[in-house]
Amino acid sequence: MIASRRDDIGPAVVVIVLLALAGVACWLLVTPALSAPAEQHYDIARMVLYYSTLPRLATALISGAALALSGALFQQVLRNPLADPTTLGISAGANLALVIASLFVPGLLGVGRDLIALLGSAIAAAIVVGLGARRGFSPYSLVLSGLVLSLWCGGLAAILTYLNEFSLASLFIWGAGSLAQQSWLIPLSLLWKLAAAVVLCALVIRPLSLLDLGEGGSAALGVNLVRLRLIVISVAVALAALVTSAVGVIGFIGLVAPTLARLSGARRPAQLIFWSALIGASLLLLADSILQLVAGELGDFLPTGAVTAIFGSPLLLALLPRLKIRHRIQQSPVPSRGHRWTEPTPIILAAAGLIVVLAAGILLGRDPNEGWRLVSGELAMDILSLRIPKVVAALASGAMLAVAGAILQRLTANEMASPEVLGISAGATFGVAIALLAIAPGLAGQFSFAAIGSICVLAIIVLSSRRSSFAPERVLLAGISLSAMVDAVVGVLSSSGDPRAAILMRWMSGSTYLVDGPMAATEAAAAIVLIALAFAARRWLDLLPLGPSPAVAIGVPLARSRFALFGLAGLMTAAATLTVGPLSFVGLMGPHLAREAGLRRALPQMVGAALIGGGLMVAADFVGRTIVSPYQIPAGLVSALIGAPFLMFMLRKKA
């Protein structure tokens, strides 16, 4: 009893501090309305206070508690400290379902908004948990599956927004998590739903506590593990879906709140769940009240979900070295059962496939009236002058991303590492956003800012993961944190009303629409130089995966070689992201396919990855240009939609 009381002291202190800070911010927020003189007929300040400000603060408290409770339940039942509605793709699934309903069946939103969100979240949860179950609910595989699904849902939602910009413009701000309210309807409806979830949690808290004994011990005491997991996961999914349906996607509360509770001393499941809910409510209230104080009248237009990610990501990165991860993942290269070809054979096949894809991308088109046709006639040269630069840029970008992915996978001994997963593409995006919205330089300036952003993200990941010897789950969590923070910053910039935000959104989608001859030539030159440097470093890439001691013994300058290779991967990512955006998955697919084809050594794997990655991006550009002709879907989004199911299949295959 005494020990449990001591365990509660730390979380209680965290809650008191957060509530005290939030209370000060709320008092500063409501004081002007209470002290304002009343109008002759209408007290506008008090009406805004009672029907907008106070409901918004109540919504923040309830939503924060619900998301934190959802994250705590996920972490406890899956035995995974990285699990929450964001990292498992639950919120992204609900958001995509609501986007589809808003576009195709808007009438359902008036009668079944919660049901639509629940359906999307349930499908996402079934996919992620199904993949995780095949690997014993490994934290690594669960979070990776959730990340892949989140990116896929986000890519599809972005395509729908891109093709229906006017009808879904307001959905962009809502999807980033807006707590703005005009009545007490939403907070009251969320309150009784949260109360029902709390009752269910109270009923399962005892069997949930027995999971600490392990599956065998808990089953021996009569716990039905399948039924318990189904009930707890259903409650957690419902909580996340209901919040997403009401206020949009608010990330990181479900991850940061249980982490704070655990690090402050909460050990037993009942303690973790109770204090996580209080910390989540306090955290979201503090973030939203500070946002309203700082933004003033713009507070209703800036997404709170983006702000929580901006606050939550650095906090999580700071806490990451202290986080004790229960499941240690022994990561080693997975043996391939691919074809036993000699190394030249898959390279020749990849080159032949690339030639076919290039020919189709340049010569083949689709007319809305006449169907498929080859380039011919008087306009042939004009059409080719438009197509060839786009194809060249897509080829160069895909090859650079694939080679960068191969370098990162060999350096980290982690076959799921890539510029997209580790947040390096997000760092390049942040650099370009700063360049566009703050300084607005030309192509050279944008590349410089993108390179700085990529290398900064790499540096943060290396520093935060160095003590754990680059353990996959820590590297992955650092990448997720930084990606969420960068996406949040870009979301805030995009919702600021700046007309350049539209340019940023179009660029983030990965469209080659604006690529011209000089830009394509620059991209091709950068690819040739940077990929040649990567090929020249093949000896380092062959020896570094052996481990630090053997590499040093053979004569590899460990620190200098790692720094140079990480920097080279960052430069290639920055150059490629300028053309195809941050969501392509080519940096993950290219090395994977090259490895599956039997290319093991560094140089053959990079050559094969470059050919495959370039071909995939050219194919994505071709599909995006022709599938809904005369409209064009960005190549980056098309490759993301193709890549995510492919990676899920790979995860399932390797289970």
139-155 pLDDT per residue, tens: 666 777 787 787 778 77
State the pLDDT at residue 281. Answer: 93
Of the residues 287, 313, 335, which one is the last residue of a structural domain? 287
Over residues 444-450, the mean pLDDT reads 78
State the pLDDT at residue 332. Answer: 40
Cβ atoms of residues 483 and 418 within 8 Å: no
State the Cα–Cα distance between residues 500 and 495, nearest whole angstrom.
11
Same domain, 265 and 410: no
State the pLDDT at residue 615. Answer: 92
Same domain, 373 and 254: no
Residue 4, pLDDT > 60, answer no
Q: How large a percentage of the chain has pLDDT more than 90? A: 15
State the pLDDT at residue 468. Answer: 59
- If phi > 0 it is left, if psi is from -120 to 50 it is alpha, else beta; for residue 383 that is alpha
Same domain, 165 and 254: yes
State the Cα–Cα distance between residues 143 and 136, nearest whole angstrom.
13
Cβ atoms of residues 585 and 638 within 8 Å: no
**Number of domains making up the chain:** 2
Residue at token pair 């380092």: 540
Q: Which two tokens stand for residue 32?
A: 């002007």
Same domain, 246 and 375: no
Please check whether residue 297 lies inside any domain of the structure: no
Q: pLDDT band at residue 504, thresholds of 50, 70 and 90?
A: confident
Please check whether residue 385 lies inside any domain of the structure: yes
Average pLDDT, the chain: 79
Of the residues 235, 261, 287, which one is the last residue of a structural domain? 287
Q: How large a percentage of the chain has pLDDT more than 70? A: 78
State the pLDDT at residue 329. Answer: 39
Q: pLDDT band at residue 42, thresholds of 50, 70 and 90?
A: low
Please check whether residue 353 lies inside any domain of the structure: no
| Of 295-309, 384-398, 417-431, 505-519, the least confident | 295-309
- Going by C-alpha positions, the residue among 64, 60, 119 that lies closest to residue 94 is 119
Same domain, 261 and 397: no
Cβ atoms of residues 142 and 89 within 8 Å: no
Over residues 438-450, the mean pLDDT reads 72
State the Cα–Cα distance between residues 577 and 571, nearest whole angstrom.
10
Any idea what the CATH number is for the domain that residue 239 is in? 1.10.3470.10
Residue 1, pLDDT > 60, answer no
Same domain, 378 and 282: no
Please check whether residue 332 lies inside any domain of the structure: no
N- to C-terminal Cα distance for the chain?
43
307-355 pLDDT per residue, tens: 777 766 776 666 666 555 544 433 444 444 444 455 688 888 889 999 9
State the pLDDT at residue 176. Answer: 64
Residue 356, pLDDT > 90, answer yes
Same domain, 440 and 551: yes
Please check whether residue 348 lies inside any domain of the structure: no
Same domain, 39 and 159: yes
Q: Which range of residues forms the domain containing residue 231?
A: 2-287
Residue 199, pLDDT > 60, answer yes
Same domain, 226 and 368: no
Same domain, 392 and 274: no
State the Cα–Cα distance between residues 559 and 544, nearest whole angstrom.
11
Read out DSSP for 350-417? HHHHHHHHHHHHHHEEEETTTEEEES-STTHHHHHHHHHHHHHHHHHHHHHHHHHHHHHHHHHT-TT-
Of the residues 249, 264, 287, which one is the last residue of a structural domain? 287
- The predicted model scores a pTM of 0.76
Q: pLDDT band at residue 128, thresholds of 50, 70 and 90?
A: confident
